[in-house]
Amino acid sequence: MKAIFSYTIRVAILCISFFALLYSCKKDIADYTSPQINFVIEEGFINSDTSAKVGDTLYIKVLAESLSEYSLSTIRFERITPIDTIVIDTGMHVQSILVNKKIIKSIAEWEIWNITTRDRNRKASNTISLKITKDESGAHGEISHVLPFGLGFQDNNEFESFYSLSQQTVYNMEDAFSIQEEIHFLSYYDNIDEDEHTIASPGANVAAEIYGGNYPLDIWDTRNTTRFAEPNITLEDFDNCQNDSLIYATTFAFETGKRKAKNLKANDIYSFVSDKGNFGLFKVISLEGNETGNVVIEIKMK
């Protein structure tokens, strides 16, 4: 018993000595100047409170700078509305950076954008802010309604797998490769990650095994990215959508969307936003089969 007690005391002393040594070796960081961030005043960019109609596109430009030896690690854009709060963090490792941010006015009565940066020690900068109020003037805008069409999965010999939102056309892989900048959707059956029936985009992390042949996605020079979300709307809401009010009500900040609409089933509805500015809704009409199968969808978009 005495031996056990003695052993316990020795272990405790060793642990205390180790942590004391570790603490003594830790380098204290002297106080230093915080990073700073400011709006860039330039034509075409807003830098103060303003108003905009739902769906209007606005741009802001900010300059973030480290005023010390410690590089910047994050810029945060926080959007606060009466409906929700969205936080978008972008990682980096730079001493200074210019960032352009595109904002599409939401349906909220107002939205406040707070922007900050942090350095690698998590020391925060000042916060810059602006408020965008909804301009109530004007009527709802028109939309494009794409009637139901089929997208084939990767081994389907009847339906092609690549879709252009701008051209509203389905392409095979060879033709899609020749107009990479116009391709926004692709479809496949995923039995690797268990995503099964999937609609994604060239910029998503699609497994290399999905598409073979002479034009695999990893050799594309331009891989557009489209992101997806599941809005809280009904089939009746989608079917009755005749103008852009529902599309704006269900859109989202691109950075917050998912890279894939996966495990699809009939009557699913997804909202989508592409990195080229296309956005809208699609409804799954039907789907069948696996790698040789297809999905039929209907689209309503701006």
| Predicted pLDDT of residue 2 | 47
Q: Tokens 């909202």 label which residue?
A: 271
Is residue 238 scored above 90 in pLDDT?
yes
Q: Give the chain's domains with CATH numbers.
A: 36-134 (2.60.40.10), 144-301 (no CATH)
Closest CA to 30 of 66, 69, 64, 65: 69
Lay out the sheet containing 96-104: strands in order across.
Answer: 36-39, 57-65, 96-104
pLDDT one-digit tens code per residue, 92-148: 999 999 999 999 998 899 999 999 999 999 999 999 999 999 998 867 889 999 999
Give the dihedral sign, CA 209/212/217/218.
Answer: positive
| Predicted pLDDT of residue 20 | 52
Is residue 27 scored above 70 in pLDDT?
no
Give the dihedral sign, CA 134/140/141/146.
Answer: positive
> Phi/psi of residue 126, each to 5°?
-65, 165
pLDDT one-digit tens code per residue, 271-296: 999 999 899 999 999 999 999 999 99
Position 298, amino acid? E
Stated pTM of the model: 0.78
pLDDT one-digit tens code per residue, 179-196: 999 999 999 999 888 899
| Predicted pLDDT of residue 15 | 57
Bridge pairing between strands 162-164 and 169-171: antiparallel
The predicted model gives 20-43 an average pLDDT of 79
| Predicted pLDDT of residue 139 | 72
Average pLDDT, the chain: 91
Is residue 17 scored above 60 in pLDDT?
no
Is residue 230 scored above 90 in pLDDT?
yes
Using a pLDDT cut of 70, give the percent of the chain over it: 90
Contacts from 42-51 at CB under 8 Å and sequence distance 24+?
A: 45/100, 46/130, 46/132, 47/130, 48/130, 49/130, 49/131, 49/132, 49/133, 50/130, 50/132, 50/133, 51/132, 51/133, 51/134, 51/135
Q: Binning pLDDT at 50, 70 and 90, where does residue 219 land?
A: very high
| Predicted pLDDT of residue 200 | 98
Residues 104, 55: contact at Cβ < 8 Å? yes
Closest CA to 172 of 197, 164, 223: 164
H helices of 127-280, where?
A: 173-178, 235-239, 245-250
| Predicted pLDDT of residue 229 | 98
pLDDT one-digit tens code per residue, 64-95: 999 999 999 999 999 999 989 999 999 999 99
